[in-house]
Structure 1
Amino acid sequence: MTIFPDIYFLPEWGKFFESKEEEGKSTIFELKNDVGHIFYQFILREIPISYGKTTYYDIITPYGFSGPVIIDCPADRKEELIKLFDEEFQLYCEKNHIVTEYVRFNPWIQNLNDFKDLYQMRDNGHTFYIDLTVPDFFMDEFSAKARTQTRKAKKKNVEIEFDYSGSTTKEFHRLYHLMAKKNNLDNEYYLFSEEFLRNSFGAFKGKQFFINAIFEGKYISSSLVIHHGDYIHYHLTGNDPEYYHLAANSLILYELCRWGMENGKKEVHLGGGNSVVIRFKKGFTKTQPLKLLMGKKVRNQKIYEELVAIRENAGESLDREFFPMYRG
């Protein structure tokens, strides 16, 4: 039985996604004593600014949503454990020349509630999810429009295929990049090579699959699904815009929920997105969305200010809303 509540906390997740951060190194800090156990996985990044003879670093949690998480602790000793964590981690940061910390907290595990007093919070909007504990997700969570779209896809003979091995990675990659092009998504952080996607099936064996929608022998929509414990994530999706009218995505979400029910899952996380994407996702849930909150903390104020000053003295324009500012 795993001690980790969601896939984003798994050590193999951090290791696999360290490459998404420039010169990033997956790192784990653990506090484990007679009070309890806290696990914290992050990506250590070298700060690309020269200052003296010391190399300085900052940290960010891996792609997705994780942060420090309490694995074990009696309820009446949580406050004590968290205080110990902050003290020990501060010493760790000083020893390892870590200047700042950026945490993408997990909104469904809600580990933020335990650590919110340690960080300054940034509101990143909301994320949506489908509750699979209701008696009938199709009637209780899907809107009338979403139910109609699902039935429409079936009536139009859209077929669904589950791929647990990654053999259809090429098709998913094609569809994902069609979607990225249509939405002018050119940020490399959110784009994935075919090789990266294929390799992920080895890294997360038994924890992910594609759901593909096929029409007249052609792949028209595909979603990469990841799962662990009680949670499923509608992780990445690609579509062919020429076939939007067939509502294949609606059928994919229906089949995903059905798979989740059959496999004892409790929630399907849909994520957020732009206004159009959010409007689509809202059609599949009547559950209140969860807040996406990020934690920011300066672990070495003096060096932080010096690094910002170096950029400013070089005549560079900094985004004062960006954290850490010296990367803005």
Structure 2
Amino acid sequence: MSGRSYTLDDRETWQEWFDRLDAGPYHSPTYLDTLAGEFEHDSERAELFVYGDEDGFVYYPYIRRDLTELPFAEAELSNPEAYSDIVSSWYYGGPLLSAGAPPSLAEEFADSFAEFCAEKGIVSEFIRFDPNRENHERFDALEPTFNRETVHVDLTKDTETLWDEFEKRNRNAIRQAQETDLVVEQTTDPAEFEAFYDIYTNAMEAKDASDHYRFPFSFFETLFRSDLSTLIVARYEGEVVGGAVVVHDDRIAHDYLRASNPDYWDLRVNNLLCYGAMMEMRDRGTDRFDFQGGRPGVFKFKKGFSTEGRGEFHIGKRIHCPAVYESLTEAAADAGIDTDTGYFPAYREAQSN
């Protein structure tokens, strides 16, 4: 059995493979197409590797990045154009095993894909597994390691049960927000897209966020024009003071990107935004709202929406061209990059994962 690779030039075939799965929005060709080139590097391009056949297969989308963009690559490598590295979709990705496929197919895939990477000059591979699909459990051969806990809400429960499973401090904050003039609802107004973008951009500037979280307005425009996302905004006296981008399909919704004007934080605008986004997705028939994870302060806020739902986010790191990896890491260190932080791959400037 052999593997096959696809690019977005093979969009129709890629979509056919995707449609055979219950995979979620982060694994779709539309989302990877939207993300690639806007995420961290201009050279990003979405690709798919499939191992198996229609009766049982592994589906693995990822983003490929050139190494020529590294300032030291040309001096270090005799042919830098021949090499690249890959990362999973963001927030979640990793390979998925189709329903009914034998577990042994996952190990066969790992070997086949490693051979593919070595042949194609893919130096390293960073995997973000999907806690909603729990695909880390099926791909032991990729040596997944636990990274952090995540929070999700079971939207199939009745509203009273959902409310009872909020932490008390969160219920109080939502009640406080509901007693103000804040209004939270979905929007398709282009002017409000721009208003949210301004708030989001200001928030990233205030946090001195990495490029990982800085997107041009064109990225949001493309996302909002697709069927992958919904923008929920909070208004105060008619002015947009916050927004939450929810990436979703018919079954699962993700708290994707969110920001609010700090002048209105005392009104508990973030609590009401998240509550409104959750209930909007529940009204649409979505089964789960995934708050994902985050650093301690962020995680504390998110777990206020569920005392029950928890997941485990795992990552994987693989080196397919060891000699090239070592050479690039040494060159990165010589160029002033701290290669001992644990960030992977070590030869790139650290970004949030």
TM-score by length of 1: 0.89
Structure 2 counterpart of 1:194, which letter?
F
What is the distance in 1 between the residues matched to 2:189 and 2:100? 38
RMSD: 2.2
User: CA-to-partner distance for each residue in 1:95-128, whole Å, 9 max, x for gaps?
Assistant: 211111100111111111111332353x432222
Equivalent position of 1:29 in the other structure: 49
Report the 3-state secondary structure (helix = DSSP H, G, I; strand = E; otherwise coil) of the residue aligned with 1:286.
Answer: coil
Equivalent position of 1:64 in the other structure: 91
Pairwise CA distance, 1:194: 2.0
User: CA-to-partner distance for each residue in 1:12-34, whole Å, 9 max, x for gaps?
Assistant: 11111111242111111111237
Pairwise CA distance, 1:302: 2.9
What is the distance in 2 between the residues matched to 1:327 and 1:261? 40
Pairwise CA distance, 1:68: 0.7
- Pick from 297, 315, 319 the counterpart of residue 298 of structure 1: 319
Equivalent position of 1:53 in the other structure: 79
Equivalent position of 1:186 in the other structure: 209
Equivalent position of 1:147 in the other structure: 171
Structure 2 residue 125 is the aligned partner of structure 1 residue 101? yes
User: CA-to-partner distance for each residue in 1:183-230, whole Å, 9 max, x for gaps?
Assistant: x2331220122222112222xx22211111111121112111111142
CA contact (8 A) 1:308 1:326 kept: yes
- Pick from 304, 319, 326 the counterpart of residue 339 of structure 2: 319
CA contact (8 A) 2:34 2:222 kept: no
Structure 2 residue 223 is the aligned partner of structure 1 residue 200? yes
Q: Structure 1: state its 5+ residue gaps.
A: none
CA contact (8 A) 2:337 2:347 kept: no
1:1-328 matches, within 5 Å, as 3-19=21-37, 20-22=39-41, 23-33=43-53, 36-47=56-67, 48=70, 49-50=73-74, 51-53=77-79, 55-74=82-101, 77-79=102-104, 81-119=105-143, 121=145, 123-136=146-159, 137-164=161-188, 166-182=190-206, 184-202=207-225, 205-311=226-332, 314=334, 316=336, 318-320=338-340, 321-327=342-348
Distance 1:211 1:278, change over 3 A: same
What is the distance in 2 between the residues matched to 1:109 and 1:166? 34
Report the 3-state secondary structure (helix = DSSP H, G, I; strand = E; otherwise coil) of the residue aligned with 2:197.
Answer: helix
CA contact (8 A) 2:244 2:277 kept: no
Structure 2 counterpart of 1:28, which letter?
L
User: CA-to-partner distance for each residue in 1:63-96, whole Å, 9 max, x for gaps?
Assistant: 220111112334xx212x1122122212211221
Structure 2 counterpart of 1:95, which letter?
E
What is the distance in 1 between the residues matched to 2:190 and 2:133? 28
CA contact (8 A) 1:105 1:294 kept: yes
Report the 3-state secondary structure (helix = DSSP H, G, I; strand = E; otherwise coil) of the residue aligned with 1:149.
Answer: helix
Equivalent position of 2:14 in the other structure: none
User: CA-to-partner distance for each residue in 1:169-196, whole Å, 9 max, x for gaps?
Assistant: 11111221233244x2331220122222
Instruction: Report the identity percentage.
Output: 24
Pairwise CA distance, 1:10: 0.1
Distance 1:125 1:217, change over 3 A: same
User: CA-to-partner distance for each residue in 1:261-294, whole Å, 9 max, x for gaps?
Assistant: 2222221111223333222222111124322211
CA contact (8 A) 2:192 2:240 kept: no
CA contact (8 A) 1:164 1:206 kept: no
Pairwise CA distance, 1:243: 0.9
4+ runs deviating over 6 angstroms: none
What is the distance in 1 between the residues matched to 2:114 and 2:20? 28
Structure 2 counterpart of 1:31, which letter?
Y
